[in-house]
Amino acid sequence: MANEHCRTITRTIRRHQLKEMVPLADSTIFGMEQRGEFPRRFALSPRCVVWDLSEVEDWLASRRTCPIERGRQVDVRQRRSRPVRGSDRVPALVQ
């Protein structure tokens, strides 16, 4: 029954190969893994982690098909530290 849950791994990739395919920071990838939004890495040895290539390719394909919503635009005038002061308009360029 344990074999039902195991998936055959055809090829794995290391971190530098992953970074060539997915140009995200390590911290972003780690956070997405923790939230279940990115394929999980697994350890081959204490110092070597890898990702399943087919899972990463499936993730990339799913990202291509569904658009990601942008975050809200932050109103910089509402910041507590370093608020922007002055008029609400952008100054005109001097020619």
Task: Summarize pLDDT for 30-78 with one digit per residue, the tens.
Answer: 999 999 999 999 999 999 999 999 999 999 999 988 877 777 787 777 7
Residue 80 lies in a domain: no
Residue 36 lies in a domain: yes
Residue 92 lies in a domain: no
Question: Using 50, 70 and 90 to split pLDDT, how confident is the model at 1?
Answer: very low
Q: What is the pLDDT of residues 4-37, one digit of tens each?
A: 556 676 899 999 999 999 999 999 999 999 999 9
- Note the pTM of the prediction, 2 decimals: 0.64
Residue 32 lies in a domain: yes
With CA atoms as reference, report the closest residue to 56 among 20, 16, 21, 28.
Answer: 21
Residue 72 lies in a domain: no
Range of the domain at 37: 2-66
Q: How many domains would you assign to the chain? A: 1
